Amino acid sequence: MYSLRAMDKILVSACLLGRPVRYDGRAKTLHHRLLKSWQEEGRVVPLCPEVAAGFATPRAPAEIEAGKSGPDILTGNARVLEDGGDDVTAGFRRGAEIALPTARNNGCRFALLTDGSPSCGSTFIYSGAFDGTARTGQGVVAALLSNDGIAVFAEDQIDALAAALATATEGR
């Protein structure tokens, strides 16, 4: 249904691919025919920006401070804090700074990222109070990729990503 040219690649959160890299040491595997097809075609570029930045697995939960989001981290106007209060902003920025050239160097014009994450959240992140409350916002990686013109999608937007890929391919 959706045909892609060899140059169309997708940066994908490694946890969505079944890799146990999340803060709790687990994966958040996305079982979807499109993702499986893209993997078989060699279109997927896996990355966990937090692991790439040197964070351990498992690790303490972290959230962007209340009322702020990824763009605020990028401008230096917010912090990412662990639930014990430690400031891990530098590591999250480093993860984003790894994700962007990874996407660029692999020809990724699209990204499929894990929503809710302080790195990868594209439609929502958590409140900053470690109370399980979600709020609208982007994580650090999602914000940096978006700023660079890479179309970012959450895992529940995979069909919209497929449509965007098809449109991009037709437009060539």
50-68 mean pLDDT: 98
pLDDT cut 70: percent of the chain above it? 95
Q: Are strands 134-136 and 80-82 parallel, antiparallel or unpaired?
A: unpaired
Is residue 2 predicted with pLDDT exceeding 50?
Answer: no
Q: Count of residues for the chain?
A: 172
Q: How confident is the model at residue 7 (pLDDT cuts 50, 70, 90)?
A: low
